[in-house]
Amino acid sequence: MLILKVAMVLYVGFGVVLYFAQNALIYYPTPEVDGSDTHAERIAVDGAQIKVWVVGSPSAEALIYFGGNAEDVHRNAADVRSTLPGRTVYLVNYRGYGGSSGEPGEQALFADALAVFDHVAARHERVAVMGRSLGSGVATYLASERTVERLILVTPYDSVLAIAQRAYPFFPVGLMLRDRFDSVAYAAQVTSPVLALTAANDDMIPAANSQRLVAAFRPGQVEQVVVERAGHHDISAWPRYWEAIATFLQR
C-alpha cells in the first residue's frame, strides 16, 4: 500500500510539473544575434515587436520562413542567398526569440504569422511559406488562412498533441496541453501545392506522424522528398534539402 501511495504521489507530482512546464518543453527561445550583414525589420502585432530578417534583393517573389523551436533563423541567411537568389526571403523570429518581444504561444504565433504575411504580401506578387519542425505547424495554419503561392513543410508533424501523447503515454495529455498546433485540422483548407521534406533518420518526429499530415491534404497535393541519411537537426546540411526547395519554388 505504501508503494502504491508513493507511486501515486510521484505520478501526480510529475503530471503537475508537466502541466506548468509545458511552455518550456515546447519553446526554446534563442538570444538575439548580430546580423549586421542582413537587413532587419520589426512588425508590430498586438503590442509585440516581431523581428524579421530580410534576405535578398527586392523581387516579385517572396518566401516567409518559420523555424524550429530552438532555431536561430538567421543561420539560414547564407544558404538562402546562394540557393534562392530570385526571392526575397523573410526569416521570422518568434515572440521571445532573436530580438522579438513578447512570450511565445500558439495563438500569438498564429497572429504574428498572419500579420507578417499581410505585411509581405503588400510588397510582393507571390508569397510562398515555409516552416520547419515547430514552424511547420505555424506555416500550415497560415496557409489555411491566406492564399499562399506554395507551402514547404520540413520535418512536419500531424499535431503537437500527438507527439506529446507518444512521449508521455501514461498522462492525460489531451486534458493538459494548451498549445496543440493541430496541423491535420488545418490541412483541408490549404489550397496551394505542398512540398514535405522529411529526414530518413529523424529521431524527433516519427515518420508515422509526418505521414498522417501528408495524408490529410488532398490526393496529389503533396510532393514528398525524403532526405536520405539526414536527421531532424541536420537536414538542412544535406545538398538534397536545398535542391528540392529550389526546384519546387521554380515551378
Averaged pLDDT for residues 203-211: 97
- List, in order of start, the domains of the chain with CATH numbers: 2-29+37-250 (3.40.50.1820)
Residue in 53, 63, 54 with CA at minimum distance from that of residue 84: 63
Mean pLDDT of the region 193-204: 98
Is residue 55 within 8 A of residue 77, CB to CB? The reply is: yes
Q: Grade residue 15 by pLDDT with cuts at 50, 70 and 90.
A: low
Burial of 233 per CB tally in 10 Å (0-12, 13-18, 19+): middle
Strands laid side by side in the 61-66 sheet: 39-45, 48-55, 88-92, 61-66, 126-132, 151-154, 194-201, 222-231
Q: What is the pLDDT of residue 200?
A: 98
- 14: pLDDT confidence band, cut at 50, 70 and 90? low
pLDDT at position 172 is 82
- For the chain, what is the mean pLDDT? 93
Q: How far apart are CA 146 and CA 238, in angstroms?
A: 31
Residue carrying C-alpha cell 489550397: 191
Higher pLDDT, 92 or 167: 92
What's the grid cell of residue 169? 503515454
pLDDT at 179: 95
- CA contacts within 13 A on the Cβ side of 251: 14
54-102 pLDDT per residue, tens: 999 889 999 999 999 999 999 999 999 999 999 999 999 999 999 999 9
pTM of the model: 0.95
Q: How many other C-beta atoms are found inside a 10 Å radius of the C-beta of residue 64?
A: 27
Q: How far is CA 223 from the centre of its chain?
A: 18
Average pLDDT over residues 202-214: 98
Tell me the C-alpha distance between 173 and 167, whole Å: 10
State yes or no: pLDDT of 21 exceeds 70: no
- Do residues 42 and 51 make contact, with C-beta atoms less than 8 angstroms apart? yes
Stronger pLDDT, 242 or 9, i.e. the higher one: 242
Condensed to tens digits (0 to 9), the pLDDT of residues 91-148 reads 999 999 999 999 999 999 999 999 999 999 999 999 999 999 999 999 999 999 999 9
User: Which residue carries 530580410 as its cell?
Assistant: 54
- Spatial separation of the C-alpha atoms in residues 85 and 87, rounded to whole Å: 6
Q: Which of 24-28, 192-196, 202-206, 243-247 is predicted with the least confidence, judged by mean pLDDT?
A: 24-28
Question: What pLDDT shows up at residue 171?
Answer: 75
